[in-house]
């Protein structure tokens, strides 16, 4: 297939409510969407999960723009791509910048699936027609407000509750939550807010029967996590530390992690995500799909990936209405009883809500061969 046109949209969407992690608060979401078109008039969409600021990783919307415009688009235009698995290969001589690479690769996966009249889930080898979902809840300084928020999402049917923690907002908060919700599957995400010296505090979390603790230590660490894991009953799940199949293998071999959070953008695209999934399945390491507060485009990619068989834990792919008054896709992503039904239309399976898409577009760049 020949890619003949690429359009990049700079987007700005307002979140319904601010979302706070140990590294910062999101309210306005600035990000990129990318549309790739082929010589037959098919079109595919990808989303950059890079944020406005380098909080979660070093990539930003602007570094992604630079990478895509100056390096990735020329490569895609110069090559005849037979299968989307070739894209990460074509990008492999360029270091890191995984979220930028994933944006382009994601659009090509969608395009490929549409061109071949299959769903993205089918193109990836997915086996489910509905996926089980959990929800990630940001830091609420008022614990009673947090409890009300959790109660609302439990009521809506979400299958597991993840809460963000940070130093000073951890054992105390989890104790109150566990007392209120004794049977709800629960986990905590520290987003790298602790160090090995906090081991006594982290051990106290074992009391609450958490499904896992996500990324307690440094964002680039696998060594200290390997020292921490044997001291805890609670399984560690790595998020920020995992950028590739190789990172996954090393973390698993060292015993740094018992569960992997796969984020398509963080690992450089769906092809690498699938490799990590397959390796973890062989190693009996469960995986789940993380979230980056995506619009409907990124959400649709996450849903398709989650149809693979080793996604056995509920992920963070909540419904559109959890984040947005109006999403850029139609229909929006709907969660019923803790499940999302995988769409049956070709490619990502959702249409573009053109009115919303245009309303939230700040700038559009067009590249043609
Ligand atoms: O660590 O998983 C994370 C949001 C922004 C940055 C990092 C993370 C998150 C979330 C929210 O936990 C996931 C979502 O609802 O999309
Ligand atoms: Mg996380």
Distance separating alpha carbons of residues 350 and 342, to the nearest angstrom: 10
Average pLDDT, integer, range 106-122 = 98
Tell me, in angstroms, the distance from the centre of ligand 2 to residue 242's CA: 11
Which residue has a Cα nearest atom 6 of ligand 1?
A: 292
- pLDDT class for 294, splitting at 50, 70, 90? very high
263 Cα nearest atom in ligand 1:
2
- pLDDT class for 199, splitting at 50, 70, 90? very high
- pLDDT class for 347, splitting at 50, 70, 90? very high
Tell me, in angstroms, the distance from the centre of ligand 1 to residue 61's CA: 16
> Does 20 contact ligand 1 (Cβ within 6 A)?
no
Tell me, in angstroms, the distance from the centre of ligand 1 to residue 231's CA: 26
CATH number at residue 330: 3.20.20.120
127 in the same domain as 77:
no
Q: Active-site residue numbers?
A: 164, 263
300 in the same domain as 265:
yes
Distance separating alpha carbons of residues 299 and 265, to the nearest angstrom: 12
- pLDDT class for 110, splitting at 50, 70, 90? very high
> Does 292 contact ligand 1 (Cβ within 6 A)?
yes
200 in the same domain as 100:
no
> Does 191 contact ligand 1 (Cβ within 6 A)?
yes
pLDDT digits 0-9 by tens, 212-251: 999 999 999 999 999 999 999 999 999 999 999 999 999 9
> Does 208 contact ligand 1 (Cβ within 6 A)?
no
pLDDT digits 0-9 by tens, 228-237: 999 999 999 9
ipTM of predicted assembly, 2 dp: 0.99
Binding residues for Mg(2+): 189, 214, 239
215 in the same domain as 145:
yes
The total number of structural domains in the chain stands at: 2
268 in the same domain as 299:
yes
Give the domain range for residue 92: 3-117+351-368
pTM listed for this prediction = 0.98
pLDDT digits 0-9 by tens, 143-194: 999 999 999 999 999 999 999 999 999 999 999 999 999 999 999 999 999 9
Q: Is residue 346 part of a domain?
A: no
């Amino acid at each position: 297939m020949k890619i003949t046109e690429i359009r990049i949209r700079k987007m700005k969407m307002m979140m319904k409510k601010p979302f706070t992690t140990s590294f910062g608060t999101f309210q306005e979401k600035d990000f990129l969407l990318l549309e790739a078109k082929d010589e037959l008039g098919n079109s595919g969409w990808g989303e950059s999960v890079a944020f406005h600021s380098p909080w979660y990783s070093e990539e930003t919307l602007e570094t992604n723009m630079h990478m895509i415009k100056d390096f990735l688009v020329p490569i895609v235009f110069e090559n005849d791509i037979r299968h989307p698995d070739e894209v990460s290969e074509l990008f492999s001589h360029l270091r890191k910048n995984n979220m930028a690479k994933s944006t382009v690769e994601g659009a090509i996966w969608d395009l490929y699936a549409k061109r071949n009249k299959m769903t993205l889930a089918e193109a990836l080898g997915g086996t489910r027609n509905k996926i089980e979902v959990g929800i990630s809840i940001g830091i609420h300084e008022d614990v009673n407000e947090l409890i009300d928020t959790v109660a609302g999402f439990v009521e809506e049917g979400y299958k597991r509750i993840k809460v963000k923690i940070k130093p000073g907002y951890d054992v105390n908060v989890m104790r109150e939550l566990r007392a209120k919700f004794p049977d709800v599957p629960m986990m905590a995400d520290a987003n790298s807010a602790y160090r090995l010296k906090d081991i006594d505090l982290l051990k106290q979390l074992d009391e609450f029967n958490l499904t896992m603790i996500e990324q307690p230590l440094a964002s680039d660490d696998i060594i200290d996590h390997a020292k921490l894991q044997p001291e805890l009953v609670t399984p560690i799940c790595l998020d920020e530390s995992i950028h590739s199949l190789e990172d996954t293998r090393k973390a698993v071999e060292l015993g740094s992690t018992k569960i992997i959070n796969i984020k398509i953008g963080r690992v450089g695209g769906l092809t690498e995500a699938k490799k990590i999934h397959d390796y973890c399945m062989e190693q009996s390491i469960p995986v789940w799909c993380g979230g980056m507060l995506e619009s409907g485009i990124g959400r649709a990619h996450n849903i398709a990936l989650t149809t693979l068989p080793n996604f056995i834990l509920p992920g963070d792919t909540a419904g559109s209405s959890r984040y947005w008054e109006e999403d850029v896709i139609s229909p929006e992503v709907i969660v019923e009883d803790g499940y999302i039904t995988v769409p049956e239309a070709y490619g990502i399976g959702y249409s573009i809500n053109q009115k919303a898409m245009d309303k939230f577009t700040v700038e559009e760049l067009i590249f043609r061969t």
